[in-house]
A and B are shown apart, each in its own frame.
Chain A
Amino acid sequence: MAAATKLSESRPQDWLQAVFAILTELDVRQVAIVPDAGHSRLIRLCEADPKKRVVTLTTEEEGVALLAGAWLGGEKGVLLIQSSGVGNCINMLSLMQTCQLPLLMLVTMRGDWGEFNPWQVPMGQGTEPALEAMGVIVRRADEPHLVAPAVLGAANLAFNTSRAVAVLIGQSVLGAKNFNELAKPR
């Protein structure tokens, strides 16, 4: 558990590096993504690692099925998505529950802390109950220093016990987008 040791020494802003170190330590090979700004640095780190295959999806449920196939073939994976994409995964999560397959999901939240865009709120608020309705164990990380420990615990829980586990990374960690600022002439 070298990744866990490193964690205790890390500064709060190092959570992305710490998460990448955890994924590497666990030998995660398939990184399935529908991009989110909150995951962009982690995606770049994964793309730069020749041992990881980044698979860009057209919709999030593809990633659930991809990682089921990965595990059947002996590889670990991670699904990096935004909370709005959780809704797209619902029926596909039957695979994990029925076949006792592990799934590690890292979900960056929208429609929650400090949200500007009302269209993000329904799925943002529905993320946790929807996942739990499909048998996914959910852990939240709403402060930067809590993200890496949550990911480490979720990953071990998922891969050791063949469960689907999601870590919801809050907007208080990522920063909420200010659309009024983005709308100003540049």
Chain B
Amino acid sequence: MNYNLALNDETLLSIEKPERYIGNEVNSVVKDKSKIDIRFAFCFPDVYEIGMSHLGIQILYGMFNSYEDVWCERVYSPWLDMDKVLREKNIPLFALESQDPVKNFDFLGFTIQYEMCYTNILQVLDLSGIPLFSKDRTWDDPIVIGGGPCTYNPEPITDFFDVFYIGEGETQYRHIFDLYKQAKKDGISRQEFLHILAKVPGIYVPSLYEVTYKEDGTIKAMEPVFDDVPRQIDKELCTELSDAFYPTKPVVPYIKVTQDRVVLEVMRGCIRGCRFCQAGQLYKPLREKDVEHLKKLAIESLKNTGYEEISLSSLSSSDYTQLPELLDFLIESCNSKKVNISLPSLRIDAFSLDVMSKVQDVKKSSLTFAPEAGTQRMRDVINKGLTEEDILHGSHEAFLGGWNKVKLYFMLGLPTETDEDILGIGDIANKVAVEYFETVPKEKRNGRTIDIVASTSFFVPKPFTPFQWAPMNTKEEFLDKANKTRKGIMSQLNQKHIKYNWHEADASMMEGVLARGDRRLNQVILKAYEKGCIFDAWGEYFKFDVWMECFKECGVDPFFYTTRERKDDEIFPWDILNCGVSKKFLLREWKNALAGKPSSNCRSGCLGCGAGTYGVGVCFEGK
């Protein structure tokens, strides 16, 4: 245990939840500094409870600490009260395990999971006393490296990072650490080291690429400044998931965090090809883990953590071919240990309802459907293979099984959307209510009734999806659509059984700008941070007006990134990267979307997306 905390008792007792800053959690790793060559500070740039819920950090934390010469520690965004204390008392931001200043580390890694955390990245750099700009850093500063889904378009934050790691972390870090040790031994410059890194597969060093623009503001070219640096960076992919490191001793927080359970990743990737979904493309091809391996991981993790709940993790667990066997095993072994099983992302059908009734309190739990759109036409456009019949049939079965709470998720602002699609949302919700009343006769309701929650989010087009060409709606259009949805629901016969929630439109617009932004946004993000923007992902702290002011002052038009029509052959900022699916395929899918034509999934028919070149996973099933 580390008794030397960075902050004194008085300070820790004066702030909210001191447990966020004291480290020493079960399974956290403390090493002898004198025997370590590389110190890695791994940061999730949001508050502790969010960051501690992230599986990716737990995987790489465990993997890095399995290396004898590396000590990986964790860093999270200090909450606003702590931010104030650190600035007032001039205390540098510290990592949790050693409580040492982050600035003294060899690497500072950020996992970048959502666009709205960009100002928090600047906060962490700033509080650590690390120059915000990569170009201003020296060997006295850590190598600042970014990874995670947002690095598939890292252009808006290129000034602040030395390196981006594109793809799955399991493959190249050992190599990077060895190169670092060699660089230190050889006494080469930091700049030379970055140049060496740029040649490592999956590594993007943004300072080694020059961007030129056309008169209309779109990109003319992105060229490497050295001949020996790749023109395009290929995503790294872990080809043998069952052999890859997986943490069976994840760090167990003292305080309740968002994901407070053992997380068992059953597979990576998705066969579904929903056209709005970025994760579906980024993690292709789908790779399943061996079921015997998973059983072992589950038992070990539960034993090592003492958690009372285990959750299966994947983009669509119903597509895991060994699911029945895995669930049978878990139900049997967990029941005796009084461990709960949580089953997110299951398709509602007879099988899943049967399983759910075994592991959940039917009266308390709710059914979740994500039709995403209100009409079959719209669902064909987005390639969401869930029909109204699926929903009503699933609901019928569930109502017979005793469920009476239904959650429905939709998106507004999808390409080609019309009023009919918007009004269709109320329609589906009403039909689910009707299904309940027809399925469950009055005398069997026992005073209970149907309870439907319909939620809409605003669609944000993302890089490396067929919708990367799509114009995004304006805030006004979004709010108008939410209003129409609400009226549509209100006009339904069973409207009093339907509750409607919608998201903030301001935050969606900002997310849209950053998602498909380019290097010209770096200055805007910096200015926003300087003007006090932080925790933008938290509705109550998001300052839309300040952001708009920053765009104006920087002479950057935010709508260039959102509402603009993009031509088929436009060079996108993220074209410098190759995520494994070809632009040709994405364009083909975009045209299919506009024509309202659904596509097959990876198991029902290969679309030739390009992910087959990795030589593994679903692309080779049965071959």
> Do A and B bind?
no
